[in-house]
Amino acid sequence: MLKRKDMLGLIDTSAEEIDEILTLAAAMKAKLRAGEKKFDDLAGKTCTVLFYENSTRTRTSFEQAAKYLGATTVNIAAATSSVAKGETLVDTGKTLDAQRNDFIVMRHPMGGAPYLLAKTVKASVLNAGDGMNEHPSQALLDMLTMREEFGTLRGLKVAILGDIKHSRVAKSNLFGLKKMGAEVTMFAPETLIPKDVDKLGAKLCVSREEALDGADVVMGLRIQLERQQAGNFPSLGEYAAFYGVDEKTLGYAKPNAIVLHPGPVNRGVELTSGVIDHERSRIEEQVLSGVAVRMALMKLLNEYRERNC
Ligand code: NCD
């Protein structure tokens, strides 16, 4: 049983909790696959989706998950809300609480923002990405996709390549995968590797060949131009040539390795189109995993709320 009001990061989520979320998400996914979309676990509940950053799949996926579970959903884009008039995050949170919201799904450019919100509201807060910190539901959907493919996460070798420094997806995956017994290797230009990430358990590699050698999972990450100054690497073309994954470099991984990417993909930069559309690519599968994981998270948090809040 999840014993928490909020889901903010995998750094403090246990292996048992991750296992519980993934097991329920797998069952939810099987139902979605069978065409079932109408559940009543969150009937009578409200969920506000509050995004201070752009998004396509994460925002729609949370909204669909809440709707499929029977909740009423409200969508706030920060650019069109009172935030644009200077309202603080805490005041926005108080307003949403006064409206008796049960869930607030938030994406924010500042690392730690959802932690602040969670402390000040009665609603359950789900972190949909906070700056360069964490993106727990993305890592959970990645882990669900891997677990469905290979049956277990224990012993899997996961190679993460791309803009690791600016990626909350890489950090949440590292925390989660290590707890579940997987090995994580990373490769990127030195300027795109966060300081001390090896101390968190990642194995840093000096080449694509080394990172992909024997990998079960090859995860590409987007070069996040919006979060970096120019100068981390000479040009996108050179990045693609020396650090990107094409069909030849994919050959260093195991023959049954799968390709993942959280999206949006810069086609031809971190992955070539041949790799994105490869028969080993599970990028579209990740999207369905995303709806299922978010349904599982909200259902489990709601069960906690019903018992304790
Ligand atoms: C990721 C994010 O926003 O952190 N995307 C996502 O949630 N699907 C990765 C990215 O933006 O590159």
Distance CA 16, CA 14 (A): 5
What integer pLDDT is reported at residue 230 of this predicted model?
A: 67
Specify whether the CB–CB gap between 193 and 228 falls below 8 A. Answer: no
Same domain, 48 and 103: yes
At which residue do the structure tokens 């998270």 appear? 297
Residue 10 lies in a domain: no
Task: With respect to residue 2, please indicate whether it lies within any of the assigned structural domains.
Answer: no
Distance, in Å, from the CA atom of 272 to the CA atom of 134, rounded to the nearest integer, reads 26
Residue 216 has pLDDT above 90, yes or no: yes
Q: Which domain holds residue 118?
A: 15-133+287-308
Q: What is the residue with the minimal CA distance to atom 3 of ligand 1?
A: 129
Contacts of residue 36, defined as CB under 8 A and 6 or more positions apart, other chains included, come to none
CA of 17 to the centre of ligand 1 (A): 23
Per-residue pLDDT tens over the stretch 10-46? 999 999 999 999 999 999 999 999 999 999 999 999 9
If asked whether residues 106 and 195 sit together in one domain, one would say no
Among residues 46, 58, 249, 272, which one is catalytic? Answer: 58
Do 146 and 278 lie in a common domain? yes
Q: Could you tell me if the CB of 290 is within 6 A of ligand 1?
A: no
For 153-168, the pLDDT digits (tens) are 999 999 999 999 999 9
Rounded-to-5 percentages of helix, strand, coil across the chain: 45, 15, 40
Q: 267 an active-site residue?
A: no
Question: 174 CB less than 6 Å from ligand 1?
Answer: no
- Mutational pocket test of ligand 1: of 134, 169, 173, 174, the residue with most ligand atoms within 8 Å of the beta carbon: 169
Q: What is the pLDDT of residue 225?
A: 81
Given 45, 59, 107, 168, the catalytic residue: 107
166 CB near ligand 1 (under 6 Å): no
- For residue 89, report the distance from its CA to the centre of ligand 1, in Å: 22
Alpha-carbon gap, residue 77 to 116, rounded angstroms:
19
What is the C-alpha to C-alpha distance for residues 110 and 267, in angstroms, rounded to an integer? 27
CATH number of the domain that residue 38 is part of: 3.40.50.1370
Give the alpha-carbon dihedral of 294, 22, 281, 105, to 10 degrees. 20
Atom of ligand 1 nearest to the CA of 53: 3
Spacing, Cα 278 to ligand 1 middle (Å): 21
CA-based diameter of the chain, in Å?
56
Q: Confirm whether 5 is domain-assigned.
A: no
Average pLDDT, whole number, for the chain?
95
pLDDT of residue 229: 67
**pTM for this entry:** 0.97
Domain identity same for 144 and 272: yes
Number of domains composing the chain: 2
CB 244 near ligand 1, within 6 Å: no
